[in-house]
Amino acid sequence: SINAVIFDLDGVIVSTDDCHYRAWKMMADEEGIEFNREINERLRGVSRMESLAIILVKSEKEYSSEEQVELATRKNNYYVDLIKELSPADILPGVMDILTELKARGIKIAIGSSSRNSPAILKNIGLGGYFDAEADGNHIQNSKPDPEVFLLAAERVGVSPVECLVVEDADAGVEAGLAGGMPVLGVGAASVNPTATLQADDLSKITVDQML
Ligand code: B16
Ligand code: MG
């Protein structure tokens, strides 16, 4: 039986795609690197430095590792400014109903996100302190598709991985959950991922009974 649900943040609880896109785009334009929404799609669920490496495939210039850290930091400064505008209105459809019902049924809820900005995003959308546990990019060595962030979230809620359902929008995240021995509900971009245990367009299209 499922005794905990671990939610990815970006793309599951709140859509930050556009903030990531605009922040990477500003940096890429300044550097004269080609970047578009199609490339942005490939960054879903991927860590900040791995995202930069994907973007730099299009760069004519070779950047030293110090310069790469500067590029990623510059993007993050733009991103931090953009996410200040997020509010509870940006919570995705169906999310609050599902969270409320899981809590009412005594099912643990946790965050498992690659983002180091996860605490700030949760605070801005009014969900700071709402989850039983949080595991994010600040707490891990290996990012998705490695299962580390989800295993840490499971440990923090005290539920064994096989009794945790992961909710993910990224293919890397679906792979991570499955690698951790957890069933995975794919939503958004991952709602068409055939390896996901369950699929739904978004959390308004599935019930807690179907999830459990
Ligand atoms: P940051 P998630 C991921 O969050 C995003 O989907 C991904 O696009 C981003 O590069 C990554 O976090 C790192 O974010 O630069 O804020 O540390 O989907 O795992 O919640
Ligand atoms: Mg995501």
Mean pLDDT of 1-26: 96
In the annotation, is 10 catalytic?
yes
Mean pLDDT of 176-200: 98
Helices (H), 32-147: 37-41, 48-56, 65-83, 95-104, 118-124
* pLDDT surpasses 90 at 45: no
46 lines ligand 1 (CB under 6 A): yes
Confidence at residue 52, expressed as pLDDT on a 0 to 100 scale = 98
Q: Annotated catalytic residue: which of 10, 17, 136, 171?
A: 10
- Whether the CB-CB separation of 7 and 13 falls below 8 Å is answered with yes
Give the percent of the chain with pLDDT over 70. Answer: 100
- Give the residue, by CA position, lying nearest to ligand 1 atom 8: 44
Confidence at residue 209, expressed as pLDDT on a 0 to 100 scale = 97
- Whether the CB-CB separation of 165 and 183 falls below 8 Å is answered with yes
Mean pLDDT of 64-84: 98
Q: What are phi and psi of 182, to 5 degrees?
A: -110, 145
In the annotation, is 8 catalytic?
yes
Compute, in angstroms, the gap from residue 74 CA to the centroid of ligand 1: 16
**H or E, element range at 108:** strand 108-112
Compute, in angstroms, the gap from residue 189 CA to the centroid of ligand 2: 9
pLDDT band at 11 (very low <50, low <70, confident <90, very high): very high
* pLDDT surpasses 90 at 197: yes
Q: Annotated catalytic residue: which of 8, 17, 136, 171?
A: 8
Q: In whole angstroms, what is the distance from residue 140 CA to residue 133 CA?
A: 14
Mean pLDDT of 90-98: 97
Q: In whole angstroms, what is the distance from residue 143 CA to residue 173 CA?
A: 9
ipTM over 0.85: yes
Residue whose C-alpha is closest to residue 147's, from 132, 130, 168:
168
For ligand 1, mutation pick of 9, 10, 142 (most atoms within 8 Å of CB): 10
Mean pLDDT of 125-142: 97
* pLDDT surpasses 90 at 150: yes
Q: What is the DSSP letter of 92?
A: P
Residues paired with 207 in a beta bridge: none
Confidence at residue 13, expressed as pLDDT on a 0 to 100 scale = 98
117 lines ligand 1 (CB under 6 A): yes
Q: For residue 40, what are the CA distances in angstroms to 23, 80, 88, 164? A: 11, 17, 24, 29
